[in-house]
A and B are shown apart, each in its own frame.
Chain A
């Protein structure tokens, strides 16, 4: 009898040890895992710096940011990213000018006015829009939107900054709508009640009480939409014509206007040129320099959005 109990006790002790071991092992494993996620962010940043440093050792930061000519072919290669930065700014600017009002108005309609069944249908629609891959949108831009605009405006080509900006607007819209809607939803119901009790109509309440109260969230929506548009690659690669001109003629008539010229963005440049660049060449490092510039821009924009979202709360 005693030996049987002993055996049982031994067996259960063994199980216990096994359990403890697996518990501690898994705990360590999970901690390592989490650590690796954090490390990867640092890795990304570190590698960008590592591979772009050689460029900055040979050319100055100023020549990158302000240089007006991007001509990577030797021997007289110049790596001035001004046209690229200009291209990014222009397309992003167009995108935001279109997407911000549309997005906020749509969010207002969805959040404040639409009956719940319609709202669900509309929200699903917006989610579908969010899911369309950027290469498909770029493709549609190239084959449908571009030629259409070319016809309507009598342009030389349909692949312009405007086309790119228009497409980017639709990629940024789901982000803007979703965050703006959250911001409107977060406005306390009390404000609406107080406004209605004073004799305001629903629309007056929306414009004068609810939307101003959601101000910070809407700014966050703007910033995140901006970040999305800046970082977008395939759409602009396929739809903007990829000519590295500095877009400085914005107020000229249509035929001359930079809006309707082909331009090139930072993202498209990296994507288009990296494949053919020998590793270790100056061009290679220049592209990494573009990469870190891009990363810093989006990082700043996203941090501002985060601040707007979280410092705004009382």
Chain B
């Protein structure tokens, strides 16, 4: 990846469909921004920046989600404060931060799963493909078809492997056995699980190992053919080998889907994601290309977290 002149500030111009540049800034950055406004933004380095590692951000990528000044309340608790960011298509965007800082909460606003618990209030806009999903007239069921979710603890239904994957399509009206068979195979292949289970589709999902169950949950989410897959700490309950396999899977999945990943493991974030956002106490402190966040964080707090000065 080439080092962009603006990357030092974590500001990367993104290009939308009309070829216009769009800048996105966090609240924290805008403060830094004003201080530096007079300065030349070109980084002065003696040595050229290190060569491309893994995270590559395609500056021509389309915006999938645009969040504008999102404030979210759980009862009286102000859980998300003034979030503004963009999530780009066909990328893995990782959200990191200490526990309880709002990253899972934010993830669940993207498919409006927060409403399942009572007494929540949302202010601001979340645009999915230019449609504000916070509006009341939005069909939540359709939204959740487009934006799927994989949970922290694998939670397959107490049914057979086949029935787990077929659950979503059945709900949405697919009845013919042939169609369902096709979808099940496609989804299980997409989750890199087909070869392991293709002969035992009738077995209970609970007969699978933890890692396999999580891939089953991924297949289940893929079966409804979403655009986006939200992953809420999908590997935290798994052993390292299963974790590795799922990370490999994510790499492949991003070709077809957009992935937003919440993880408390920042090494995972640096391994798999193209963009990373750092959350702290309900605020989005900083967001940018993963490499930049980890090697050249702009905010002191990001730096502290990455260096492990607080957990």
Contact = CB atoms under 8 A, between A and B. Distances in A.
Contacts of B172: 199
A115 to B, nearest CB: 9
A198 B155 contact: no
A198 B116 contact: no
Interface string A183-201: 0000010111111111111
A206 B206 CA distance: 21
A196 B114 CA distance: 11
Contacts of A195: 157, 167, 171
B158 to A, nearest CB: 5
Interface in A142-170: none
Interface in A173-229: 188, 190-201, 204, 208-209, 212-213
A19 B50 CA distance: 82
Looking at A195, A200, A209, the one whose CB has the most chain B CB atoms below 10 A away is A200
Interface in B135-190: 141-145, 148-149, 151, 153, 155-159, 167-168, 170-172
Contacts of B145: 198-199
B148 A198 contact: yes
Interface stretch (B17-25, B56-64, B216-224, B245-253): B216-224
B155 A188 contact: yes
Chain A interface secondary structure, helix, strand, loop or mixed?
Answer: helix
Question: Size range of the interface on A?
Answer: 10 to 19
A213 to B, nearest CB: 5
A194 B171 contact: no
A197 B171 contact: no
Contacts of A200: 141, 168, 171
A303 B145 CA distance: 45
Given A191-B155, A208-B167, A212-B159, A198 B142 contact: no
Contact of A199 (B116, B156, B206, B224): B224
Nearest to B115: A196
Interface residues of B, number: 27
B111 interface: yes
Nearest to B144: A199
Interface in A277-314: 314
Contacts of B157: 191, 194-195, 209, 213
B188 to A, nearest CB: 16
B113 A198 contact: no
Given A198-B148, A198-B221, A193 B141 contact: no
Given A209-B157, A213-B157, A199 B151 contact: no
Contacts of A193: 113, 116, 151, 155
A213 B163 CA distance: 13
Given A204-B171, A213-B158, A199 B153 contact: no
Contacts of A198: 144-145, 148, 167-168, 171, 220-221, 224
Interface in A77-130: none
Interface string B78-113: 000000000000000000000000000000000101
B111 A190 contact: no
Contacts of A201: 141
A208 B163 CA distance: 11
Contact of A196 (B113, B142, B170, B220): B113
Nearest to A201: B141
Contacts of A192: 116
Nearest to B143: A199
A197 B221 contact: yes
Nearest to A194: B155
9 contacts: A190-B151, A191-B158, A194-B156, A194-B217, A194-B220, A196-B113, A198-B145, A198-B220, A199-B144
Interface of A: 188, 190-201, 204, 208-209, 212-213, 314
Given A195-B171, A197-B149, A198-B220, 10 more contacts: A188-B155, A191-B155, A194-B156, A195-B157, A198-B148, A198-B168, A199-B171, A200-B171, A208-B167, A208-B170
